[in-house]
Homo-oligomer: A and B are copies of this chain.
Amino acid sequence: MTVLRPVRAGNAFEETVERLLQAIKLGVVGPGEKLPPERELAVQLGISRVTLREAIRALQEADYLDVRRGRYGGAFVTYVPPQPGTGDLRRVVADMGTADLADALTFRMAVECGAAAVLAAGPLTGDQRDLLRRRLADVNEAGAEDYRRLDTAFHLSVAELSGSSLLATACADARLRVSDLLNAIPMLQVNLDHSATQHEAIVAAILAGDPEAARRAVSEHLEGTAALLRGFLS
């Protein structure tokens, strides 16, 4: 039964590593940037500094972080997303299992469509409209190294602007579950152009305040990604 599932996913250390890995892989803290100071971060994550430091050390040893002491020191992100190639995709899928893959794609479709619809339905301030346009522009101007990160930022912005933190969390979770997959598929210019058009459509629908159109636009966009995945797998 769904409700009598494990109370916690693992011990505090493991969960913390997972979280930091999320922040890094999703590009919340990009390459060269640093995590917040330990004391601060520990509070944000609701754990003790000791546990946080263990997690940081693990990521350091796995070459995700470079930790420097002293003032202006900190834990700097060294991880750069791998240049994608189709070769890895099957391995990534094998790692997560096809059932989980379908689950993740379905979940993502549901929550992101929902977030876009909610956002389009509500009134938007000028700042919010600007942010949305800014993120859209960022993706369009992005080079190959930054593309995934800024694409993620765009999608998460839609979720966060919806005003529902539960939805935003769900979208972040969903995105994370597919991020390894996305990183493994090659970026072809055709697909990038296609995505750009779809991103435009999403923003247009949201700014126009048309929930149905927004939902449809997101749906088509994500369906495109899913189709791409299936294409590389078959």
Q: Which residues of A contact B (CB under 8 A)?
A: 1-8, 12, 15-16, 19, 22-23, 26, 28, 36, 41, 44-47, 102-104, 106-107, 109-111, 113-115, 117-118, 156, 159-160, 162-170, 172, 174, 177
Interface of A is mostly: helix
Shortest C-beta distance, A107 to chain B (Å), equals: 4
How many Å lie between the Cα of A125 and that of B189 in the bound state?
Answer: 41
Closest B residue to A177 by CB, please name it: B166
Closest B residue to A159 by CB, please name it: B2
Copies of the polypeptide in the assembly: 2
Q: Which 6 A-B pairs have the closest CB atoms?
A: A110-B114, A6-B46, A107-B166, A106-B164, A7-B15, A103-B164
Asked, given contacts A7-B16, A15-B8, A110-B115, whether A2 binds B162 with beta carbons under 8 Å apart, the answer is no
Would you list 7 pairs from A and B whose C-beta atoms are within 8 A, ordered by A residue?
A: A1-B23, A7-B12, A7-B16, A7-B19, A106-B162, A107-B166, A110-B113
